[in-house]
C-alpha cells in the first residue's frame, strides 16, 4: 500500500501480517482489510488472544513444549504412559502426532535438528535434558520421531549414541508408503524401505 | 490441535488466525507457532498494531475508504485532482490503483457491487453519497473502475444512469490485453474488445 493512501498504522499492520508464514504482501493486505471489516468479530478477539498468549504462553521446562502452564498439560497428564518418550524436533510435530492419535506417550521437543551448515549444534537443542530424562527410572522406550531428512537422521544417530548408557529401547518411525499414496509418485528410497520393511497381511 | 496438548488460549489463537483469508487450519497452526517463537519480534508488535488499528481506524465519511483519520488522507490531500473521482468497489481496489500509480485523483469506495442474488441493493452501497459528490462543482469526471464481471458492469450501468443529471463525464476502464499477457491464453471477449479498442502506435 503506498504511504499516501492511509495512516501509517494500517501499513504497519500489513507489514507485520506479511511476516506470518503463509502470508505474502498481497495476502497480508487482504488479511488486514478482512480484520478491519470484521473489527468486532475478529480484530478485537485476535488482539485479545495475542495479548493473552504473550502473557501466558511458556515453554515447559521438562519437555520443551509450549503451553500456558509449566510443567505442561502433557507432562502432568497422569493418563499418559510415562515409560514412553517421543522425541520430536518441533512443537508442530508434537501436535501432528497428537492429531494422529496413535500414541498416549510423553514428548520431548528438541527445538530443531542438528545442522552443522546452519550452525545448530547439540548445545542449541534440548538433547542434554532428554538424556537426563531417559535415565529416569520409569522410562523404557524413546521413539525418535524425526524427519527423514539428512539433518533429522543425523540428529537421530547422535541421540541414539548418547542413549546407549541409558537402559531404554531406542526406536524410530517406520519408513514406507504414505497411507493413500500412489506408488508411481513415490521416490525410490521410500519404495525400497517399504519393500525391506514389508509386513505380513 | 487436540485439546489435551496445551492450554485453551493457544487453541483460541489458532482458531482466530484460521479465520484470516489465505490461512487454513494447518497454516494457522504454523502461524501461531511462529508468533509464539517470535514473541518479542512479532507477537508483541502485532498485538499492539491490532490494538492501535482497533482504536484508530475509521471509515472516511466522504469517500468510504479506511484510514486513521476522517476525512481520510486521500480526501484531504491538496495535491490530488479534485475534479476526478475514481469509483471502486472496495478499499483493496483503491490500494491496487494507487500501487499502479496511474492516477492522482480522489476515490469513492462503494463497499461492494450490486448483486441481486446476494441481496445487495443500491441502499447497501455508498451510491447516494457518490451521486451527491458528483454534483459538486469541482467534479468533472467520474471513472468507474469496477470489475469486468456481471455484477461490476451492472453496477457501472446503474451508476451511469444516476449520473446523467450531474454534469460530469462518466468513463470506465479500458478492456484489452493485460500487460505481459499471452494472446493464446486470453478469452474471446477480451480479445474482441482489444481489437475494437485498438490504438495507433
Asked whether A151 and A90 are in contact (CB, 8 A), the reply is no
pLDDT of residue A186: 85
User: Strand, helix or coil at A171?
Assistant: strand
Asked whether B142 and B168 are in contact (CB, 8 A), the reply is yes
How many residues are there in chain B?
201
Percent of chain A with pLDDT over 70: 98
**B2-A88-A60 Cα angle (round to 5):** 70
User: Is B173 part of the contact surface with chain A (CB cutoff 8 Å)?
Assistant: no
User: Is B14 part of the contact surface with chain A (CB cutoff 8 Å)?
Assistant: no
Between A200 and A156, where is the model more confident? A156
Instruction: Give domain status of residue B106, yes or no.
Output: yes
User: Strand, helix or coil at A160?
Assistant: helix
Which neighbouring-strand residues pair with B86? B107, B143
Q: How many domains does chain A have?
A: 1
Instruction: Give domain status of residue B24, yes or no.
Output: no
Peptide bond preceding A71 in cis form (omega within 30 of 0): yes
Instruction: Give domain status of residue B52, yes or no.
Output: no
User: Is B21 part of the contact surface with chain A (CB cutoff 8 Å)?
Assistant: yes
Give the domain range for residue B108. 82-172
**pLDDT class for A4, splitting at 50, 70, 90?**
low
Partner residue facing A49 (CB), from B16, B39, B91: B16
* Residue A151 host element (H or E): helix A150-162
Residue A145's CATH number = 3.40.1360.10
Mean pLDDT over B67-82 rounds to 93
Instruction: Give domain status of residue B123, yes or no.
Output: yes
* Residue A87 host element (H or E): strand A81-88
Which of A119-123, A192-196, B169-173 has the lowest average pLDDT? A192-196
pTM, whole model, 2 decimals? 0.82
Which neighbouring-strand residues pair with B115? B120
pLDDT of residue B164: 93
**A69 contacts in B (CB within 8 Å)?**
7
Q: For residue B165, give how far its alpha carbon lies from the nearest alpha carbon of chain A (Å).
A: 30
Distance CA B169, CA B154 (A): 18
User: Strand, helix or coil at B79?
Assistant: coil
Handedness of CA A19, A24, A28, A29 (dihedral sign): positive
Contact A65 B99 (CB under 8 A): no
User: Is A4 part of the contact surface with chain B (CB cutoff 8 Å)?
Assistant: yes
**pLDDT class for B181, splitting at 50, 70, 90?**
confident
**A64 contacts in B (CB within 8 Å)?**
none
A29 pLDDT exceeds 80? yes
Distance CA B120, CA A21 (A): 35
A3 pLDDT exceeds 70? no
User: Strand, helix or coil at A21?
Assistant: coil
Strand B141-144 vs strand B169-172: parallel, antiparallel, or unpaired? parallel
**B112 contacts in A (CB within 8 Å)?**
none
* Residue A108 host element (H or E): strand A105-109
User: Is A54 part of the contact surface with chain B (CB cutoff 8 Å)?
Assistant: yes
Question: Least CA distance to B98: which residue of chain A?
Answer: A2
**pLDDT class for B198, splitting at 50, 70, 90?**
confident
Mean pLDDT over B102-130 rounds to 94
Distance CA A34, CA A55 (A): 26
* Grid cell of B90 as nine digits: 472496495
Instruction: Give domain status of residue B193, yes or no.
Output: no
Mutate to test the interface with B, among A4, A6, A29, A86 (most CBs of B within 10 A): A6
H, E, C per residue of B140-163: CEEEECCCCCHHHHHHHHHHHHHC
A200 pLDDT exceeds 90? no
Instruction: Give domain status of residue B161, yes or no.
Output: yes
Mean pLDDT over B16-43 rounds to 93
Average pLDDT of the residues of chain A? 91
CA distances to A131, B89, B184 from B59, in Å: 58, 14, 42
Sequence-separated (6 or more) residues with CB below 8 Å from residue A173:
A143, A144, A145, A146, A148
Instruction: Give domain status of residue B11, yes or no.
Output: no
pLDDT of residue B75: 93
Distance CA B127, CA B110 (A): 6
Distance CA A82, CA A139 (A): 6
User: Is B69 part of the contact surface with chain A (CB cutoff 8 Å)?
Assistant: yes
Average pLDDT of the residues of chain B? 91
Instruction: Give domain status of residue B178, yes or no.
Output: no
B177 pLDDT exceeds 90? no
A1 pLDDT exceeds 80? no
Please identify which residue in the block is written with the cell numbers 458492469: B153
Amino acid at each position: 500500500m503506498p504511504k499516501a493512501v492511509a495512516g501509517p498504522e494500517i501499513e504497519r499492520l500489513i507489514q507485520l501480517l506479511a511476516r506470518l508464514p503463509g502470508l505474502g504482501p498481497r495476502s497480508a493486505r487482504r488479511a488486514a482489510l478482512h480484520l478491519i471489516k470484521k473489527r468486532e468479530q475478529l480484530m478485537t478477539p485476535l488482539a485479545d488472544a495475542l495479548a493473552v498468549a504473550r502473557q501466558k504462553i511458556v515453554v515447559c521446562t521438562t519437555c520443551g513444549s509450549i503451553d500456558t502452564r509449566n510443567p505442561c498439560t502433557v507432562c502432568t497428564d497422569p493418563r499418559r504412559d510415562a515409560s514412553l518418550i517421543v522425541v520430536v524436533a518441533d512443537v508442530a510435530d508434537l501436535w501432528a502426532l497428537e492429531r494422529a492419535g496413535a500414541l498416549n506417550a510423553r514428548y520431548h521437543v528438541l527445538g530443531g535438528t542438528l545442522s552443522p551448515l546452519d550452525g545448530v549444534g547439540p548445545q542449541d537443542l534440548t538433547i542434554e535434558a532428554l538424556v537426563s530424562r531417559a535415565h529416569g527410572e520409569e522410562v523404557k522406550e524413546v521413539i525418535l520421531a524425526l524427519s527423514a531428512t539428512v539433518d533429522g537422521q543425523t540428529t537421530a544417530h547422535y541421540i541414539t549414541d548418547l542413549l546407549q548408557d541409558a537402559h531404554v529401547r531406542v526406536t524410530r518411525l517406520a519408513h514406507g508408503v504414505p497411507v493413500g499414496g500412489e506408488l508411481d509418485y513415490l521416490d525410490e528410497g521410500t519404495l525400497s524401505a517399504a519393500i525391506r520393511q514389508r509386513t505380513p497381511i
